[in-house]
Amino acid sequence: MFQNNPLLTKLKKNLHAKIPRVEGIVKSHERGFGFLEVDAQKSYFIPPKNMKKVMHGDKIIALLKIEKDREIVEPEKLIEAFLNRFVGKIEKKENRLFITPDHPFLKERIICQPNQNCMNIFEHGDWAIAKLIRHKLKGDHIFYAELHEKITKEDDPFTPWWVTLARHQIDRTEPLAEENDLILKDNYPRKDLTNLDFITIDNINTKDIDDALFVNEMPNGKISLIIAIADPTAYIKNGSKLDSIASQRGFTNYLPGFNIPMLPRNLSEDICSLNPNKRRPVLACHVIILKDGSISNKIHFFLAWIKSKSKLSYDHVSDWIEKLGRWVPPMPSIQKQILTLHRLCLLRIKWRKINAVVFKDTLEYRFHFSEYGHVIDVSVEKRRIAHKIIEECMIIANISAARFLSKNLGFGIYNTHSGFDIVNAENVVSFLKNYNLNFNAQEITTLKGFCNLRRVLNIISNNYIDSRIRRFQSFGDLSIIPGPHFALGFLEYATWTSPIRKYSDMINHRLLKSIIQKEKAIKPDEEIKFKISEQRRRNRIAERDISDWLYAILLKQKKYHNKKFYAEITDISRHGIRARLIENGAYVFIPGMFVHEIREELNFNQEVGKVFINDIMHYQISDIIQVILLDIRLETRSIIAKIER
């Protein structure tokens, strides 16, 4: 009687139209249910039966309903699928292929098949690049993906690298050079400095050597410094095929265990590299360091030929200065260079402590691998005096380049940092009052005031206060026009000292050369600036993801189970504590249940970076705690720990 009744159909449509709708992002839970996050404060429950229609991360419109006196949502329309292009692991079962996305919240197997252009044969355990082409919320009965490319097989020891690079769409091999790429192309006149005792100081295994130094004592305590930088733009023409490749890559990608060069290795590690006793073209900068450590206004950039007299290592030079070990400089002239560079370094550090900002020493961690690529250990490396010598010389070079570009062109690729905006400056002032530190918001938004604040914080040396202040700071950026770098404490800063490894430095090389040769300079556009920044971000995320995977593999070994570690608290979230193991640098997560047994008595305050139990502060960011490893999850690359009391 009621079948095909147009009035009833219309009534149903009207009733359906009146049901309220909400838009948000799906967040899944490992128990099968989920939540639709509408904003930071509001979310709605998605029952398990409704979660089968969507995936974690999907942006959807859902119907808001009441079920058993509880607000729930029913997914109605897909706005944007979380999965598009993705990487995952293949499962082969009864000649059917499935792929599980490599994501901690996406564990559903998706039916898949190679697309028509894919020539790979897929086996169980393979890793692959896929694209989701069917979605249940689009009216399809299943989720379905096409396989586009095989990444690697299951037992490849380099899986962490290849899968991560594929996910972030980063090249896994070096660019190839054509014969013409290896020929010197510019015919500019160059000053012959091959008789001077230039030296290089790098890690002992460094092959792509960018910089060489020559110093000379002058009367009245002054020091003459020549910074010679490798000149790949002498081989790579602007707009050439290789230049285009370098601009796309942006950087040499330094990953645990190896690097992926921005330029072909026969350029970056041979023809352009400032290898010992090899005549090389360079872009050079001559500066005078005054006896108070300041840089003279007389800055001279020029093209030259040099021949490095010795390749030195950070550890050997540091050992000799600190009177450790048995290594000695190979010649008296090299010894003199090291001693003068050491004096220059101390002068500059003293000057920067008074006039700019000095960096705190931090620990660095280095993975060690077997000959087959398996991770076997991690070592701790500290910044030693030789690292600081090179750092100070490169800072001098980059300040000088910024001044030179600003004076002659008014543009370039500048590294900038704006300190605090006015709102965050007010927050900083309010926070510091709790520690009887009185500052003015207007003052600390100036370069001078910011530097003064950083110097006071360095004297106080309170890691908790320091971490809170950094939370209010802006991020570093690139700029086409001159601007201050608050975090370094300089009015302007432009890097040009790593052109083998950084495309932005290649751009500045060409601009510096145009000034030297009195040629027309081409102003960089905003697009290249954003491209470089984005590539840097992707490289850093990839390095972090690979490190997390390697730590999970390493700590999964039996000898680390239930081992106690000291760790520094680095973050407080709503659900637990994130900390870094001091012994090896791995990050661990401590869920609330392993912080305190009674959840209702716990308060994780993200705003202040502290953990309260019964309103009493027990832990805060920067605290050193002792933890025990409980669970290492390879599939999510996460390490779960508990606090040892």
Q: Do 101 and 58 form a contact (C-beta atoms < 8 A)? A: no
Q: State the catalytic residue, choosing from 190, 249, 352, 501.
A: 501
**How far is residue 567's CA from residue 560's CA, in Å, rounded to a whole number?**
15
Q: State the catalytic residue, choosing from 197, 202, 319, 545.
A: 202
3-state secondary structure 371-399: CCCCEEEEEEEECCHHHHHHHHHHHHHHH
210 is catalytic: yes
3-state secondary structure 290-351: CCCCCECCCCEEEEEEEECCEEEEHHHHHHHHCCCCCCCCCCHHHHHHHHHHHHHHHHHHHH
188: left (phi over 0), alpha (psi -120 to 50) or beta: beta
CA angle, 422 then 427 then 432, to 5°: 125
Given the structure tokens 């290789």, which residue do they identify? 242
The number of CA neighbours under 13 Å toward the Cβ of 514 is 17
39 is catalytic: no
Length of the chain, please? 645
Taking the CA atoms of residue 31, residue 32, residue 36 and residue 42 in that order, the dihedral angle to the nearest 10 degrees is -20
Given the structure tokens 């390490």, which residue do they identify? 639
Q: State the catalytic residue, choosing from 58, 126, 181, 210.
A: 210
**How far is residue 398's CA from residue 492's CA, in Å, rounded to a whole number?**
9
Kind of pairing between the strands at 96-101 and 21-28: unpaired
**How far is residue 309's CA from residue 73's CA, in Å, rounded to a whole number?**
72
CB atoms within 10 A of CB 39: 8
Q: Do 348 and 293 form a contact (C-beta atoms < 8 A)? A: yes
Q: What are phi and psi of 538, to 5 degrees?
A: -65, -40
Q: Can you state the angle between helices 385-408 and 503-516, rounded to 10 degrees?
A: 50
501 is catalytic: yes
Minimal CA–CA distance to 443: which of 433, 435, 451? 451
30 burial type by CB count under 10 A (0-12 exposed, 13-18 middle, 19+ buried): exposed
Q: State the catalytic residue, choosing from 235, 314, 503, 551.
A: 314
**How far is residue 119's CA from residue 426's CA, in Å, rounded to a whole number?**
60
208 is catalytic: yes
525 is catalytic: no
167 is catalytic: no
Q: Which tokens belong to 111?
A: 């039916």
Q: State the catalytic residue, choosing from 58, 181, 208, 505.
A: 208
Q: Write out the catalytic residue numbers.
A: 202, 208, 210-211, 314, 501
